[in-house]
A = this chain, B = another copy of it.
Amino acid sequence: MAGRATHCLLTIPKRGYSSKVDKNVAFLGLGNMGGFMAANLVKKGFTVKGYDPSSDAVKAAAKNGITGASSIAAALDGADALVSILPSNKVVLDAYLGKDGVVAHAAKGTLLIDSSTVDPNVPKQIYPVAIENGVGFIDAPVSGGTMGAQNATLAFMSGGRKGDFERSLPMLKAMGAKQFHCGDIGSGQVAKLANNMLMGITGMATAECMNMGIKMGLDPQVLLDVLNNSSARSWSTEVYCPVPGLIPTAPSSKNYDGGFKNELMVKDLELASGMALGIRSPIPLGAVATQLYRMAQTRGFGQKDFSYIYQLLKEDKQ
């Protein structure tokens, strides 16, 4: 598998398209993910100026060596590159294309890296405007959660010009462990959404099948061992089993706290469903999984890890 991946797991090229080395980085969005990511850039020797509408977030980041900025324009002042991680389509579009936004204030030659998870149409809208203004732009959403952000083990899935991707590698490597170039602009988002929909379905299926076997009397550990040695094994059975107590590091064993929140799973499934609607791609299981994770959220479990669905399937008050 490692071998198979190599053609897409790029290493730093001997020679980028520019001999210029990016040193000064503007950072937008210093929340749960961004705070750690910006701190890791500092640790690896980058000079980082950060902006966030929350002054608390800016203050917290200061402790990790990030210089606070009072606006997007201020953060971009003197920057070679910019990294952003923001919560929604609208916030990203406003931050990049608004009149006080990134594209309006970035100096020619700046490289823009957006790590937000959004509809692939969002980077596709930003890209031509950025290019026209003489700046580079890639989408580079991440997987790995806050744990991955903290430990710099995130995976980046990016889309855009290959040269821009290669130029981004020193920064991506400071913040994560894997970097994929998935294709043209927007491809990072497509890969991320396909991955998260598949993870969401597989996780729910693991919950269904473990619950069924346990209800039939099987020892949970024995059942999990069988699955992990057979054709049903997956990241969900090996790393993230939704049944508490079997994998100590899984969120299910920590009261379903930490991990990947149900409400974020719903957000990604809705983005993926919207994308599938747009291209008329059939997703029968994805559609059902979207509905059920959403119903878990409307029941009030949006802050729990998405593997909490096991508890809802297991429920028996009849």
Point out residues on A near B: beta carbons under 8 Å. 1, 4-5, 7-9, 120, 143, 155, 157, 178, 180-184, 187, 190-191, 194-199, 201-202, 204-206, 208-213, 215-219, 221-240, 263, 266, 270, 272-277, 279-292, 294-295, 297-300, 302, 312-313, 315-318
Contact = CB atoms under 8 A, between A and B. Distances in A.
Q: Is the interface of A mostly helix, strand, loop or mixed?
A: helix
A213 to B, nearest CB: 4
B208 A282 contact: yes
A213 B232 contact: no
B289 A318 contact: no
A285 B201 contact: yes
Contacts of A205: 197-198, 201-202, 205, 285-286
B235 A240 contact: no
A21 to B, nearest CB: 28
Contacts of A218: 182-183, 187, 190-191, 194
Contacts of A287: 287-288, 290-291
B202 A232 contact: yes
Nearest to A143: B230
Contact of A157 (B199, B226, B283): B226
B232 A196 contact: yes
Contacts of A196: 231-232
A281 B270 CA distance: 11
B286 A288 contact: no
Most buried by B among A178, A208, A224, A299: A208
A292 to B, nearest CB: 6
Nearest to A313: B282
A190 B272 CA distance: 23
B284 A7 contact: no
Contact of A5 (B183, B215, B228, B270): B228
A111 to B, nearest CB: 22
Contacts of A7: 221, 225
21 contacts: A4-B224, A190-B216, A191-B213, A196-B232, A201-B208, A201-B209, A201-B285, A202-B202, A202-B232, A211-B282, A212-B272, A215-B281, A234-B236, A273-B273, A280-B297, A282-B291, A282-B294, A284-B288, A284-B291, A297-B318, A299-B315
Contacts of A317: 298-300
B238 A1 contact: yes
B191 A226 contact: yes
Given A229-B5, A277-B273, A298-B318, A284 B216 contact: no
